Each structure stands twice: as structure tokens, then as C-alpha cells.
Structure 1
């Protein structure tokens, strides 16, 4: 029997299952959609994560692989959501994980983008929860909105590009390390943000 090699996206999903599940549980335990105030904390967490990766969406190394990458950036949408609510943004003093204009390690960046794009795929039920707070894709929950082509198609387009490059075993390890670092970063933001309530996660 010929064994079909699992796609990179599926390998990442399997390898990161534990840390991903722990993050999801931590977010849900904080009840981010219980009020607009707690949702604003969630938005500041999103702001800091998307600020960390904002530079990737303009990186030429990645644009060659993902032609629609610039349109996937959600940092500005998160900031607009905060403004819609009249909520103060997080303090952006810390240097972001990826700096505009700096060279990018492709495998590491792929891992971080996998986490970012996967969160958009999983946002379908989050935007429904936001609707209970009077929020929508036009007000307060812009960054949770689906792509015009639909979440599933948007994800498939991303994973097809993610799976395309031929990488060495060492590079594959850096992809996984990047995804793990991204999940760990968000978990840290969640733990700090909701522990301090309105405090800026950084």
C-alpha cells in the first residue's frame, strides 16, 4: 500500500493540537463576549498579535508564495474595531515579533501565518457571539468577518500555498516552531490581558 504523505497544514494541526486546544479553552474561560468591556480586552489581545505579524503581509519572500497575502492582513481591522467601541488600544511600545523591512525566515513565518489564518477560519462562531453584543462585520467585529469567497475557500487557498514549498527536515522543524511560538504568544497575551482586565497586554 502506498502511503500518502500528509499535507503540511495537517501536520501542523496535529502537532499543535494540544497548545491550540489549551488556548481555545483559556479564551472561552475568560468569556470575552460577556460584555463589550471584556470584548475590548480580547480586541487588544488581537491587536498585539496582529501587530506582531503585520510586517509579514508585505514581505516579498511571502508575497511570491501567497499572491493574495496583503489582503489577508487584519491588523487595521482590529484597530478599527477598537475605535468602533471607543476603546483604547493596547500600548504598542514593545517591538513587534516581525519588523517591517527586515529579512524574513520563510519557514518560521509560515508557522506564524498558519496560526493567524487558522484563527480566521475558526472565527465563524466568534462573530455570531459578537452579534449578541450588537457587533457585526461592519461595526466592532470587522476582523472576524469572512472573506467574500467564504471561509472554507479562503482557507483552502492559503493551505494550498502553504503546502507548496519543498522544505528540508530542518526547515519543517522551523515551521512547527513558528506555529508553536505564535500559539504561545497568543496564550501569553490572553493570560495577561484577562488577568488584568483592562490592562494593556504586551
Structure 2
């Protein structure tokens, strides 16, 4: 999943490259967020859930005068792939890990004149909760005892 995501969104050093990045990220995040939000979470997850950024991505696209793309990921395919706790953990690992990378990407976006109010809302949102990754690591540790 991670390699497919990387190849579809790429990096960005220019505003044009950033414009190419946004649609791929939105397509992936909408499908993945729908799948994980509709998944059955084991009790050992507690009330933790991942940060949702798809709506912020849509706003970022609008800021840059872009339309949302057709989804290349079929939502039911991702949902079907989350049929057990291990698959859910793997998908959440990709989503939560992207928040760590968002700190670097947010800095790049700022260099392009984008910020939390225009064009880079989704990156700002991902960087807000610094405890989320630590909480997710704790969940993975509990999973090691439960699975």
C-alpha cells in the first residue's frame, strides 16, 4: 500500500509539483479514512481514532482552483482488506506514519507560500497532535499482547 501511495503522490519542490501531489493524496485518504472509520476496532484500541484530513485536502484543492479527482482506489476494496485487526493496524500505520512526514512536507509547503489557512490545511492538521503517534505506538504494543 505504501509503495502505491508514494508512486501516486510523489514529492513536491514547486507549486506545480504540489498541485500534482494533492489529488493523489486526496484519493488515497478518502478511501483509507472511510475504510478505517467503518472498520471494527478491537476493545484494546480504546477511543483512539486516526486524524481525518480528507476534508482539509478538498479545501486545499479548492484554494488552488482544482477539482477533486475521480477516486482510483475503490473504497470497498480497502474496506474488505481490513477484515482483521492486523490489517487495520497496518493501514493505520501508513496513515499515522504520514503524519510524521507531514512535518517535513508542511515546511516545504510554507516555502511555496502555502499554510494552514491556504493550500496546506491538511498538512497543518496532521502536525497538530504530536501525541497521536505515541498513542498509536502504545496501541501497537497492546496488539502484540492481544493478537
How far is 1:161 from its partner?
Answer: 1.3
Cα distance in 2, alignment partners of residues 163 and 56 from structure 1: 22
| Aligned residues of 1:147 and 1:154 also touching (Cα < 8 A) | no
Query: Does residue 43 in structure 1 map to residue 22 in structure 2?
Result: yes
Query: Does residue 79 in structure 1 map to residue 62 in structure 2?
Result: no
The residue number in structure 2 matching 1:54 is 33
How well do the aligned residues superpose, as a CA RMSD in angstroms?
2.9
Question: Of 130, 137, 140, which residue of structure 2 is paired with 1:159?
Answer: 137
SS of corresponding position for 2:78: coil
The residue number in structure 2 matching 1:198 is none
| Aligned residues of 1:44 and 1:89 also touching (Cα < 8 A) | yes
Query: Does residue 68 in structure 1 map to residue 51 in structure 2?
Result: no
Instruction: Report the TM-score, using the length of structure 1 for normalisation.
Output: 0.58
How far is 1:68 from its partner?
Answer: 3.1
In structure 1, list runs of 5 or more residues that go unmatched.
Answer: 1-18, 168-202
Q: Name the structure, 1 or 2, with higher relative contact order (CA <8 Å, separation 6+).
A: 1
Question: Of 99, 105, 118, which residue of structure 1 is paired with 2:84?
Answer: 105
SS of corresponding position for 1:62: coil
| Aligned residues of 1:63 and 1:69 also touching (Cα < 8 A) | no
| Aligned residues of 1:82 and 1:140 also touching (Cα < 8 A) | yes
How far is 1:94 from its partner?
Answer: 5.1
Instruction: Report the TM-score, using the length of structure 2 for normalisation.
Output: 0.77
* CA distance 1:109–1:131, change in 2 (3 Å): same
The residue number in structure 1 matching 2:121 is 142
In structure 2, list runs of 5 or more residues that go unmatched.
Answer: none
